[in-house]
Amino acid sequence: MKKSIIKIACLFTVCGLLLCGPQVSAESSNTFTDQIITYEKAGGSTVKVIQCSEKTTSVKIPEEIDGYKVTAIGEKAFADCTSLKEVSLPDSITNMGSAAFYGCTALENVRFTGGVDAVPEQTFYGCTSLKNVELPPSVKTIYSYAFAYCLDFSEFRLPSTVENIGLGAFYCSQLSDDFEIPEGVLNIEDMAFYSCAGMERVSLPKSLKNMSAYAFFACTDLMEFNTAEGCKYTANDGILYLNDGAELVLCPSAKELGNFKLPESVKVIDDGAFFANTSLTGIEFGSNVTSIGEGAFSNCTALESLDIPGNITDIPSNGFTDCGSLWRVTLRDGVKSIGRYAFFNCRQLKSIELPDSVSSIGEYALGYYETETGDSGDDEKQTVKMEDFEITGGSGTAVEEYRRELDSSDSNIVIIIIIICISAVVIAVVSILIYKTIGNKKSDELKDEENISHNEDDEEMDDTPEETDEFREDGEEQ
């Protein structure tokens, strides 16, 4: 009787736990799930989210589950959940792993209310439908590629607590036309806003201390910069300068320029300063500019002519690469070096006259271009010498060597053609000789076979009379 009562009591206890307890199922001693989210025990009475069901469209993460406080989102916890559209994170979340929402292509809205102090690297990388993320005021750093390839992100606004914007943080994303970097931001790293579409005007705060020259590189819709009073950077007619105008940092790609005359204050033009400005047709450097950065005028497809004064002693690598309309370049005495790929792929530039001061010419600096596809029709591009490119003037060893290199390219082509022709003739002659040899051998073999056949016939003829005589003799004896 006692045993029966104990069994009934145990049964009721189990049923009570199943009905009243949280609906979770154990996967291992360290993880459990509520059928949508999988949790992992993180020590003490805390857990972190490590996985989400791929078919889930909306998630609201609880502050507590089964007696455990939810304090973290694990690395790649929601990665590639392509049905997920919205997520709400509780105040209890204080830590998040990298790439947490990587590739969630349907995700539109995310709301943080917790105490995370950073958006880790690649957190929302490739979230192409993401419209807005409400970041908590505790966020101070946005790490590398956190919002890369967010193609519909025009509603997003940076919170005023952000201090650091990392490498490629908004790489190739669509942002609002008037984008404000809020007061409080101290550093903007390389490529932070690389090729961000839709961004037409950018405002920089007084607090900004350091910004990479490539921070807003290739933003083809950008027309102007504005700067707060007291900012170390200054904007003059929408162009960004440093050091009281002595250093030109960046000219917006979409700014209308035509034939542009640099201010007299400018001494240095930074790397990529005029990159991909498609309205620049000419530039007047003036007598104070002494330095041009790498790629400063690369991809300026409307640039037609240049007159580079002697006070600019070095033309940098990739300085004027891919300037497809450039047909005339004048180099004044004083220019000493022409960097690698300086005028590469400038297909309208057919000739150039060099001053005697030039003592160094880099690889593929002049007279070379890039094919659209390889000879076999694949996507691999090839570097090709321009036909009849002419270098005049110049007397230094470097100039002569470069000129010989261009000439040797033509000679090499001729030599290759001759070698191919000779090879074809040799192959044809050898083929004929082989054919004749095989033919003669077959002919000899046929003759030998005929001779053998004739000999066999003769032997048979010789054998037949003897047999007949024997038969005759046998007959006479009979």
pLDDT at 439: 65
Which segments within 130-266 are labelled E, that is strand? 132-134, 141-142, 164-165, 178-180, 187-188, 201-204, 210-211, 224-227, 234-236, 239-242, 247-250, 258-261
pLDDT at 186: 97
Mean pLDDT over 298-316 rounds to 96
Mean pLDDT over 169-180 rounds to 96
pLDDT at 449: 60
Give CA 477 to chain center in angstroms.
112
By mean pLDDT, which of 126-130, 269-273, 344-348, 370-374 is the weakest?
370-374
pLDDT in tens, 40-75: 998 889 999 999 998 899 999 999 999 999 999 999
**Nearest C-alpha neighbor of 398 from the set 434, 363, 370:** 363
Tokens of residue 216, six digits: 């807003």
The CATH number given to 55-410 is: 3.80.10.10
pLDDT in tens, 417-443: 556 667 777 777 777 777 667 766 666
Tokens of residue 439, six digits: 């033919």
pLDDT at 404: 87
pLDDT band at 448 (very low <50, low <70, confident <90, very high): low
The residue ranges of every structural domain in the chain are 55-410
Strand partners, 283: 260
| pTM of the full structure | 0.77
Burial class (CB within 10 angstroms; exposed 0-12, middle 13-18, buried 19+) of 325: middle
CB contact at 8 A, 292 and 315? yes
**Nearest C-alpha neighbor of 150 from the set 198, 97, 212, 88:** 198
Angle at 375 (CA atoms; ends 369, 380), nearest 5 degrees: 70
Mean pLDDT over 412-416 rounds to 49
CA–CA separation, 178 and 224 (whole Å): 10
Q: Is the pLDDT of residue 114 over 90?
A: no
| Residue 405 or 56, more confident | 56
